[in-house]
Amino acid sequence: MVPKRRFFSVLGWVTGTSYSYFALNVAAQPILARCLTPDHFGIYGWLVSIRETTSVVIGIPVCIAVIVGDGTQEEFDAGWWLAAIVASAYTVTGLIGAGLLITLGRPTDAPLFAALSCATAAMTFSSVYLAPLQKQLAFRTVGLLQGVSAAVSITTGAILALFWPGPWCLVIREVLQALLVLVGAMWFSPMHFSRRVQYGILRRIAKTSLTMHMARASELLFLRVPQFAVGLLFGPQILGHLYQAQYLGSLPNSILGPLTETFALPAYSAIAENPGKSRASVYWSTCGLAHVLIPLGLVAAFAGNELVRTLLGGQWHMAGSFYQHLWLFMVVLPIFSNAKVFLYARLNQRYVTVAYMAASLVVLSGLVAAKTTAFIGFIPISLGLGILAAYAIVLFQASPTEFVRPSLEALWWPLLAAAISGALGFLLPVHGTILRAAVSVSCWAVLAFIPQRSALASLRAVYAGSKT
């Protein structure tokens, strides 16, 4: 059991490094957006989507199997061998892909793709070395390592964009961060490769990782394959706008990721045998996420276009429109990520796989609608509807007592308040998108924090269950 003082210390380090990384990203992103063109982002996004599409086949997430395991040296060695196989596959795929790009008449993109694939190979190894630290909840070390690596790489990318603009700036940023994380993870990890392998443990780790891979592959199918399709159907400029909008729409999930994924996985694993604590954890995490994300979604829905054009410049007008359509995606994605990790901790990956597959079908419908009607806004709208469908499927399939009931108890009132305040912001005779967003968020804040007897009773019931 984790002492309460250590729990809050770990939580503080996770959130502190997360928000420091967010602040640095906010400072660097306008520089990149103003120095680089949508075509530059489109080329980078298209190559990343190709790499992530190959990850549907070879991107086995070894680290999760190590984290949820027993934490023995034998399991680490098995994870290392499996990571070596995956990293080699990424490297070979990068070289083959570079050769194909040269053959297809895109020689300038070939070294970029090879470098991105090698960066993914390095991150595969670093995740195995970081797994023992995450297993021990040593997030102070993990947070500092990832934060310093991100700071150095983001600063380097911004400087390169100022003097030598091009897609190389984005690729170098990613490669540098992967190398720094790998070196730091090997230095600080309490476990190191002992060159021994027990084939029984290797088969078990491989089986668990492959089961996790099905869920991970379906996630990549939902998030990255649409970008690849947009690059082919609509060209790099449209993809550049969509990539920038999706990056901004995913920022809340990236910021909250250390809480909803990195920290939550070992935490949920530690309390898997305690239904009361599981219910309390689901309630508190879902309630907290809703109260953070819904105001952001209201701002994006009413004033997203204007905010993006103000932050990144007038050349990103289409990205602003896409971002405004991504308000539902922005709100639901972190909540779904938290639910996904809850299921990972209980080795119920098949539910996540089914959810992502359903979301991919929704996005495929959006791509078809965008191509046939020439309204590209269907693509970001379908991303939001897809992740909402995925969350609904998880709610339908997960444990009713440990997950579904506390999730619905945490969400019903904030969502009702959001519907009322959103309608008021839309119907009131107010001029200006910023003012409408301010009215809507203010109304939501008043409604969401009104003490409700039923909500308080539910909260006390969940809290009482956590103490049993």
Using alpha carbons, list the distances in angstroms from residue 34 to 162, 175, 329: 9, 22, 25
Q: Is the pLDDT of residue 297 over 70?
A: yes
CB-side exposure of 275: number of CA atoms within 13 Å? 7
pLDDT of residue 99: 93
Which are the contacts of 373, defined by CB distance < 8 A and separation ≥ 6? none
| Stretch among 8-22, 109-123, 440-454 having the lowest mean pLDDT | 8-22
Residue 34 has pLDDT above 90, yes or no: no
Average pLDDT over residues 446-461: 59
**Other CB atoms within 10 Å distance of the CB of residue 400:** 10
What pLDDT score does 29 carry? Answer: 74
Alpha carbon of 173 to those of 57, 121, 161, 178, 180: distances in Å? 25, 15, 10, 9, 11
For residue 277, give Cα distances in angstroms to 6, 267, 272, 459, 460.
Answer: 17, 11, 8, 13, 13
The residue with greater pLDDT, 229 or 96, is: 96
Asked if 298 contacts 435 with a C-beta cutoff of 8 angstroms, the reply is: no
**pLDDT band with cut points at 50, 70 and 90 for residue 110:** very high
Total H helices, total E strands in the chain: 19, 0
Tens-digit pLDDT profile for residues 230-241: 888 888 888 888
Mean predicted confidence (pLDDT) in 108-136: 86
Task: Note the pLDDT of residue 7.
Answer: 52
Residue percentage of the chain with pLDDT more than 70: 83
Which of 77-91, 199-213, 215-229, 390-404 reaches the highest mean pLDDT? 77-91
| 256-260, 321-325, 464-468: range with lowest mean pLDDT | 464-468
Domains of the chain, residue spans: 1-223, 225-468
Residue in 322, 371, 290, 313 with CA at minimum distance from that of residue 45? 322
List Cβ neighbours of 294 (8 Å cut-off, separation of 6 or more).
331, 414, 415, 417, 418, 444, 448
For the cut 60, the answer to whether the pLDDT of residue 248 exceeds it is yes
| C-alpha–C-alpha distance, residues 322 and 375, integer Å | 11
**Would you state the pLDDT for residue 137?**
66
Torsion of the alpha carbons at 49, 53, 59 and 60, rounded to the nearest 10:
130
The pLDDT value recorded for residue 333 is 92
Q: Please state the φ and ψ torsions of residue 52, each to the nearest 5 degrees.
A: -70, -30
Long-range contacts of 86-89 (CB under 8 A, 24+ apart): 86/58, 86/59, 86/60, 86/62, 86/121, 86/124, 87/121, 87/122, 87/124, 87/125, 88/121, 89/58
Asked which of 2-11, 132-141, 190-199 is least confident by mean pLDDT, the reply is 2-11
Report d(CA 375, CA 366) in Å as an integer: 10
| Mean pLDDT to the nearest integer, 143-149 | 79
DSSP for residue 375: -
pLDDT > 90: percent of the chain: 15
pLDDT at 171: 92
pLDDT reported for residue 351: 83
Q: Among candidates 343, 352, 345, 349, which has minimal Cα distance to 269?
A: 345
322 band by pLDDT with thresholds 50, 70 and 90 = very high
Task: Give the Cα separation of 324 and 322 in Å (integer).
Answer: 5
- Greater pLDDT, 131 or 111: 111
Q: Of residues 123 and 8, which shows the higher confidence score?
A: 123
Mean pLDDT across 203-208: 73
- Can you give the pLDDT at residue 463? 46
- The mean pLDDT value for 363-372 works out to 91
Question: What's the average model confidence in pLDDT over 131-146?
Answer: 74
Give mean pLDDT, residues 46-68. 76
Give me the long-range contacts of 417-423 (CB less than 8 A, separation at least 24). Answer: 417/294, 417/444, 417/447, 417/448, 418/294, 418/297, 418/298, 418/444, 418/448, 420/444, 420/447, 421/298, 421/447, 422/298, 422/301
Q: Which of 257, 299, 273, 249 is nearest to 433 (CA)?
A: 299
- 65 pLDDT exceeds 70? no
365 versus 463: which is more confidently predicted?
A: 365
Comparing 225 with 128, which gets the higher pLDDT? 128
Mean pLDDT computed over 175-199? 83
* Residue 1 pLDDT grade (very low, low, confident, very high; cuts 50, 70, 90): very low
Q: What 3-state class would DSSP assign to 377?
A: coil
Digit-coded pLDDT (tens) for 369-409: 998 988 888 999 999 999 999 999 888 877 767 778 888 88
pLDDT of 286 above 80 = yes
Q: Are 248 and 323 in contact (CB under 8 A)?
A: yes
The Cα–Cα gap between 261 and 279 comes to: 17
CA distance 68 to 334: 21
Mean pLDDT of the chain: 80
More confident call, 147 vs 160:
160
**Residue 226 and residue 376 in contact, taking contact as beta carbons nearer than 8 Å:** no
